[in-house]
């Protein structure tokens, strides 16, 4: 299902890509939290919240920005800049927009067939975000 960058830019709004990217990012996060083996679902839910909230996604953006290529950065910025004025009470508006940008990036990577790059970015970000033992 590989699609060109131009096809994606022309046919999908950043918010649609973020919608898809949210699901894909959460799937990667769920795979990550179960990678140590079987455990209680309540523990999994605690762990996943540290990765998928707008606040944590905003923090992950800081880790990823320096290693994104030009196209990836374009999709991130498109998603970040497309948000409205609404955001959850658990995050600042800027954190929510940055999280939307991250989700747009992952939606683009998924839709363009770049799942390997998405996993690479996810693993890099997670290792950086939790290097201090959080």
pLDDT at 113: 92
pLDDT at 107: 96
pLDDT tens for the 134 residues of the chain, in order: 567 788 888 889 999 999 999 999 999 999 998 887 877 887 888 888 888 888 899 999 999 999 999 999 999 999 999 866 566 666 688 888 999 999 999 999 999 999 999 999 999 998 877 655 44
Catalytic residue, from 22, 36, 62, 132: name it.
22
User: Does residue 53 come out as left (phi exceeding 0), alpha (psi in the -120 to 50 range) or beta?
Assistant: beta
Domains of the chain: 12-129 (1.10.1520.10)
Catalytic residue flag (residue 22): yes
Contact 111, 8 (CB under 8 A): yes
């Amino acid at each position: 299902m590989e699609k060109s960058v131009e096809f994606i830019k022309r046919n999908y709004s950043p918010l649609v890509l973020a919608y898809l990217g949210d699901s894909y990012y959460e799937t990667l996060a769920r795979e990550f939290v179960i990678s140590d083996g079987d455990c209680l679902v309540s523990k999994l839910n605690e762990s996943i919240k540290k990765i998928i909230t707008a606040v944590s996604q905003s923090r992950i953006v800081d880790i990823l920005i320096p290693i994104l290529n030009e196209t990836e950065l374009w999709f991130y910025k498109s998603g970040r800049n497309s948000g409205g004025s609404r955001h959850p009470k658990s995050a600042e508006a800027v954190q929510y927009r940055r999280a939307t940008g991250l989700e747009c990036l992952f939606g683009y990577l998924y839709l363009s067939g770049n799942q390997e790059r998405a996993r690479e970015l996810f693993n890099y970000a997670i290792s950086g975000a939790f290097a201090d033992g959080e």
